[in-house]
Structure 1
């Protein structure tokens, strides 16, 4: 059982560190491409096509974006709501400042690096325990 266990721990170490580092790089690139999102106060209005939010951007222009089903549930019956608008783009908004994709990639990368670290520590413990 000793050599098989050592092989499995070695595989977990390499996969943990390798895949974790790769996903951390992907998360960094996704974070950079996500751009800058600034907080704005938006007015929620009902139109013939559903609820929309309208806000002023940094240049003084008026922007408008429709609310999807999940955003409608979060906004509820509020007449004004704090949103995040993409700097340099028109009519782009979301309810969170950070991207859920970037967060998921970063958490997965941290989990894999944690797996690699635990496997490395376990490998060292078994090395000295057998010695």
Structure 2
């Protein structure tokens, strides 16, 4: 039983630290690829195809983006909304600063790394407890 437990802890240590490191690197790459999203107050207007939001960017340009069904539902009947637009790209907006994909990969990386660290600490404690 002791050998099986040691093997299991060793596997969790190596897989947790290795996969967690790769997931952390992936999260950093995704974060950099996502770009910089700046907050802005946008006006919600009704047009023929549905509703759109319009805002001024940091350079003074006017931008417009259609609201998806999900975004339209979250904004509701408001005439103005706080949105985030991507710096350097025209007519792109979203309602959250960070991407859900980046958030998911970051949390997964933290969980897997945490598993590896806990398994490592348990292996060290067992090493000294048996000695």
CA displacement at 1:80 relative to structure 2: 0.3
Question: d(CA) in 2 for partners of 1:114 and 1:96?
Answer: 27
TM-score w.r.t. length of structure 2: 0.96
Q: Which residue of 2 aligns with 1:18?
A: 18
CA distance in 1, matches of 2:108, 2:54: 35
Alignment-derived partner of residue 127 in structure 2: 127
**Secondary structure of 1:127's aligned partner:** helix
SS in 2 for 1:26: helix
Which consecutive aligned stretches of 4+ in structure 1 deviate over 2 angstroms post-superposition? Answer: none
TM-score (norm 1): 0.96
Deviations 1:52-101 (CA, angstroms, capped at 9, x unpaired): 10111122221111111221121011000010011111100011111111
Residue pairs, 1:88-107, within 5 angstroms: 88-107=88-107
Q: Within 1, Cα distance between the matches of 2:126 and 2:69?
A: 53
